Amino acid sequence: MTNKTTPYAIELRDISKRFGAVQANKDICLQVPAGTIHGIIGENGAGKSTLMSIIYGFYEADTGFIEVDGKRVDIRSSQDAINAGIGMVHQHFMLVENFTVLENVILGAEGGAILKGGIDTARVELQRLAQEYSLDIDVDAIVEELPVGLQQRVEILKALYRGARILILDEPTGVLTPQEADHLFRILKALKEQGVTVLLITHKLREIMASTDNISVMRQGQMVAHRETAHTDKEELAELMVGKKVRLTVDKDDAKPSGTFLSARNLSQFDSQGVKRLKNVSLELRAGEILGIAGVSGNGQSELLNVLAGIEPMSEGEIHIAGQVITAKAPKDAAEMRELKMAHVPEDRHKMGLVTGFEAYEAAVLGYHNSPVYNGKILMHRKVMIDECNERMAAWDVRPPNPHLKTANFSGGNQQKIVIAREVEQNPDILLIGQPTRGVDIGAIENIHEQIVKLRDSGKAILLVSVELDEIMALSDRILVMFDGAVVGELDAKDADERTLGLMMANAYNDEEVSA
């Protein structure tokens, strides 16, 4: 093992990348010494994936440059990245499922029109790699028949076969069992001992503490801190990740919860691959109360919303609502849930809440298009829809107040107002609301928050899902924290602070209690 002091295996200088109005990466600098494991952590949307895509040539940076082993490299495609000795293991594997391990490894590096020669050399080379890095695998196995942990190993082998000396792993443990994850970290240690540099991207604090040498923290597109793993702790990292943002304040009195509108018992959901995305979640929605769901995005909140709203079927559990019991065997679809006076502002207004190709007045009846208000015997009452849209646009200050403008041409905040107005004006008992202020400008945020509190005070039950801790803390009366599909903590909003929530969101709260 050679351990020269300079140069760095990879160095980023002032990398910036902008997508439209979003600054995904801003002046990113990063130095990774050769032969180390370097962790990069941050919340979802902090810009980690964009940065890695730049290093691997999927995107080009607007400004800044990359040096590998002290030499400036120009990476415009993944082939350039491979040539520079960079390999990447994606969160979602890029494997051809019905090929063998060997065929997958040589894909794109077949070494000629006739496969035979390439396959023979690859077989020998793979054996060498397997020995050197203790990456045992049956090279003739069909990939889809391998467990997920081994599939990931194929990805690592693919990168090494292409001569990677720098290996990037994007959320590598997301799909692994704890045992498989432990095994992965042993492999990474072995790689490190052979001089390979590893970049590990994750939002799981425990893993990063256990396996890395250095850590860099990203927040809102910027690199906010660099730490040596030995000289930091989970608490500090959690705080750095979440940041001390300007505290949003919402004027509201204490909640006066009365009856229960909805109670869910042990809700679970499996996705099409059989992975359990929602794990025995129980909750109660009470009149006059805002229940906040905190969590890093992708930890089951979307599944929870979709199951409650009738968009996705539940696999286990039951929901009691308006004197009815909904189970996996007796499901209700989204239209039936609306009839039970449940309204839903979905997390992603573009993908779900709106049809962006529709004119505003059409999008303003989505989900309620069957209502007799809008329908005659055969034709829809276009004028009624347009008049109502005009009224709502005035009441909710949607700009421009033009019911005929394509939904796509409104700004994010105004689109969100169209959705929220649509759901709230139906006068529901229960409002599910996901990421109410994502992509919404500051002025509109305040307005939306006031409306939510007003609804609560008029006796509605509100379920608020947000990845913005400030928003959860400002609005909620009670807070549930979700991690990996399960509820891992419940707090009264008065007792919540960022540190506690941050640790719960990283599922490190209990460890902390023990070690403290």
Partner 1 sequence: MSQAKVPAWVNIALIPFLNIMLAFLVSGLVILAIGENPIEAASYLIYGAFGYDEGVGYTLYYATNLIFTGLAVSVAFKGGLFNIGGEGQAYIGGLGVGLVCLALDKTMPFYVIAPLAIIGAGVFGAAWAYVPAYLQARRGSHIVITTIMFNFIASSLMVYLIVNWLKEDGRMAPNSRTFEENAWLPYLHEFLSPLGIDIGDSPLNFAFVIALICCVLVWALLWHTRWGYQLRTLGTNPTAAKYAGIDTSKVTIWAMLISGGLAGFVGLNEIMGVNHSLLLNFTAGYGFAGIAVSLMGRNHPVGIIMAAILFGALYQGGAELAFEIPTITPEIVVVIQGLVILFSGALEHMFKDRIEGFFIRRSVA
Number of residues in contact with partner 1, rule: CB under 8 A? 37
Strand-pair category, 316-321 with 260-270 = antiparallel
Which is nearest to 423 in space by CA: 382, 455, 381?
A: 455
Structure tokens that stand for 132 in this block = 């050197």
The yes or no reply on residue 93 touching partner 1 (CB under 8 A) is: no
Q: Does 395 bind partner 1 (CB under 8 A)?
A: no
Q: How far is the CB of 309 from partner 1 (least distance, A)?
A: 7
58 binds partner 1 (CB under 8 A): no
User: Mapped to the 3 state alphabet, what secondary structure does 338-355 carry?
Assistant: HHCCEEEECCCHHHHHCC
CB of 348 or CB of 497, closer to partner 1: 348
Min separation Cβ 410 and partner 1, Å: 8
320 close to 263: Cβ distance less than 8 angstroms: yes
By CB under 8 A, the residues from 365 to 384 that bind partner 1 are 365-367, 369-370, 374-375, 378-380, 382
Residue bearing tokens 């207004």: 349
Q: Measured from the CB atom, is 29 or 335 closer to partner 1?
A: 335
For residue 337, what are its two tokens? 């849930």
- Contact letters for partner 1, residues 13-32 (x by CB under 8 A): --------x-----------
Strand partners, 17: 25
Q: By C-alpha distance, which of 94, 68, 75 is closest to 159?
A: 94
Answer yes or no whether residue 172 interacts with partner 1 by CB under 8 A: no
- Judged by CB under 8 A, the residue of 336, 387, 492, 497 near partner 1 is 336
Find the part of the chain contacting partner 1 (CB under 8 A) among 26-34, 229-237, 253-261, 338-346.
338-346
Q: Which is nearer to partner 1, 116 or 351 (CB)?
A: 351
Measuring CA to CA, which residue among 442, 243, 426, 242 is closest to residue 337? 426
From 90, 62, 88, 86, select the one nearest 73 (Cα to Cα): 86
Token digits of residue 243: 């940041």
With binding defined as CB under 8 A, does residue 409 bind partner 1? yes
Q: Does 353 bind partner 1 (CB under 8 A)?
A: yes
**Is 260 or 375 the residue whose CB approaches partner 1 more closely?**
375
Structure tokens at 505: 């969101």
Residue of 29, 335, 373, 395 that binds partner 1 (CB under 8 A): 335
271 binds partner 1 (CB under 8 A): no
**Contact flag: residue 314 with partner 1 (CB under 8 A):** no
Cβ atoms of residues 26 and 222 within 8 Å: yes
* CB-count burial class (<10 Å; 0-12, 13-18, 19+) for 400: exposed
Binding site for partner 1 (CB under 8 A): 21, 309-311, 333-338, 344, 346, 351-358, 362, 365-367, 369-370, 374-375, 378-380, 382, 400, 408-409, 411-412
